[in-house]
């Protein structure tokens, strides 16, 4: 189906006049749609095609988004905010559903376009990182009373680190494309940390960490920053919203945003954890959370950063050993470079763990 054919099946306000490719996402096909109303004014929408080959349970995914955005909208309204700008809003289809399904199984959905706001791909200034932290913290705050268990786990065992570790060991054993020898040092790095792999999930199983609604892709570019105020406005890209641990969302942000080097940096001397950015993010996140995290969650935030970085590096390494079948690569050995970078960051976090813990204590005292 073409965007024009699909667009006619959504309840857009006005007549669809234009559609153009939009954004730089690697998974969904995204279009910016312009509709003209009878009075001559225009409204813009986002139209997206979601590929079933990537998301195996599109029905569960869309039901998660519907539940979460509806809940957020009501919470924002009760607080006197603007739900049309502070959360994503699905556009219904003419038949009253939330998406259109193609014969291939792929689905199309539409959202209102959030005007006068911007996403940033990199941390250009600490304030942007703070605002993204505040937005993700507020996401936790608003959803603190939502029953996370009512959501579908659309990607099973997504942050189940022990399962990821078992997959890694299987890839080492199989050595499907003969790359184990060149990655012996990186393999040993993971094996030496086997005892760490189950720390977070075991705390959850023991009732020490609560189940939360988690975003699971807490990069800076998944927060809209208001152009006028510079404030974090809206968390977007909810495809991976599902039950999880708050410390994972915090940790993935630190892994991505507080690294002094690019994710695939080959000069490992450039890789380190910026303690100033770690503190900036912690302040924003805890302020946004508004006291909704438990004491144990707060104490485990530094470990969340380490474990998300270790898990990500292990996933890159697993993919390298399996022949680069999951992550897109742009050069030979790209996934191995990514893994080495993540492991260098883990090693630096381990050296700085005491200071990371002191920062969290300090932020808790001033929050």
pLDDT in tens, the chain (367 residues): 899 999 999 999 999 999 999 987 667 899 999 999 999 999 999 999 998 877 889 999 999 999 999 999 999 999 999 999 999 999 999 999 999 999 989 999 999 999 999 998 877 789 999 999 999 999 999 999 999 999 999 888 999 999 999 999 999 999 999 999 999 999 999 999 999 999 999 999 999 999 999 999 999 999 999 999 999 999 999 999 999 999 999 999 999 999 999 999 999 999 999 999 999 999 999 999 999 999 999 999 999 999 999 999 999 999 999 999 988 899 999 999 999 999 999 999 999 999 999 999 999 998 7
**CATH assignment of the domain containing 235:** 3.90.1200.10
Same domain for 99 and 159?
no
- Confirm if 346 and 359 have CB atoms less than 8 A apart: no
Is the Cα dihedral 263, 269, 270, 275 positive or negative? Answer: positive
Range of the domain at 13: 3-115
Same domain for 155 and 14?
no
Same domain for 243 and 306?
yes
Res 346: pLDDT: 98
Res 25: pLDDT: 66
Helical segments of the chain, H only? 3-7, 58-78, 83-86, 126-142, 161-174, 184-191, 199-205, 246-257, 275-289, 295-299, 301-322, 334-366
Sheet order of strands, 232-235 included: 117-118, 223-226, 232-235
Same domain for 88 and 180?
no
Res 331: pLDDT: 96
Q: How far apart are CA 326 and CA 165, in angstroms?
A: 16
- pTM of the predicted model, to two decimals? 0.94
Is 121 part of a structural domain of the chain? Answer: no
């Amino acid at each position: 189906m073409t965007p024009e054919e699909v667009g006619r099946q959504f309840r857009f306000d006005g007549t669809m006049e234009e559609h153009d490719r939009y954004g730089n996402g690697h998974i969904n096909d995204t279009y910016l749609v312009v509709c003209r109303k009878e009075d001559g004014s225009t409204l813009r929408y986002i139209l997206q095609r979601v590929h079933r080959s990537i998301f195996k349970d599109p029905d569960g995914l869309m039901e998660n988004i519907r539940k979460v955005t509806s809940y957020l909208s009501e919470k924002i309204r009760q607080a006197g905010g603007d739900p049309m700008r502070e959360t994503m809003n699905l556009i219904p289809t003419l038949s009253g559903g939330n998406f259109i399904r193609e014969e291939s199984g792929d689905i199309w959905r539409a959202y209102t376009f959030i005007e006068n706001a911007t996403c940033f791909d990199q941390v250009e200034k600490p304030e942007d990182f703070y605002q993204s932290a505040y937005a993700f913290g507020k996401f936790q705050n608003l959803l603190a009373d939502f029953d996370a268990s009512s959501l579908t786990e659309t990607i099973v065992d997504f942050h189940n680190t022990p399962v990821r570790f078992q997959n890694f060991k299987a890839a080492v054993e199989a050595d499907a494309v003969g790359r184990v020898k060149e990655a012996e040092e990186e393999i040993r790095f993971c094996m030496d940390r086997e005892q760490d792999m189950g720390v977070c999930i075991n705390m959850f199983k023991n009732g020490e960490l609560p189940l939360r609604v988690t975003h699971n892709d807490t990069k800076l570019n998944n927060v809209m920053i208001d152009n006028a105020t510079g404030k974090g406005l809206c968390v977007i890209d909810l495809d991976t919203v599902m039950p999880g641990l708050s410390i994972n969302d915090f940790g993935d942000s630190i892994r991505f945003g507080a690294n002094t080097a690019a994710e695939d940096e080959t000069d490992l001397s450039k890789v380190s954890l910026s303690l100033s950015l770690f503190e900036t993010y912690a302040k924003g996140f805890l302020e946004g959370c508004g006291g909704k995290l438990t004491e144990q969650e707060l104490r485990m935030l530094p470990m969340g950063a380490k474990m998300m970085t270790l898990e990500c590096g292990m996933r890159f390494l697993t993919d390298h050993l399996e022949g680069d079948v999951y992550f897109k690569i742009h050069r030979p050995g790209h996934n191995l470079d990514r893994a080495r970078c993540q492991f260098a960051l883990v090693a630096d976090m381990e050296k700085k763990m005491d200071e990371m813990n002191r920062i969290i204590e300090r932020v808790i005292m001033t929050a």
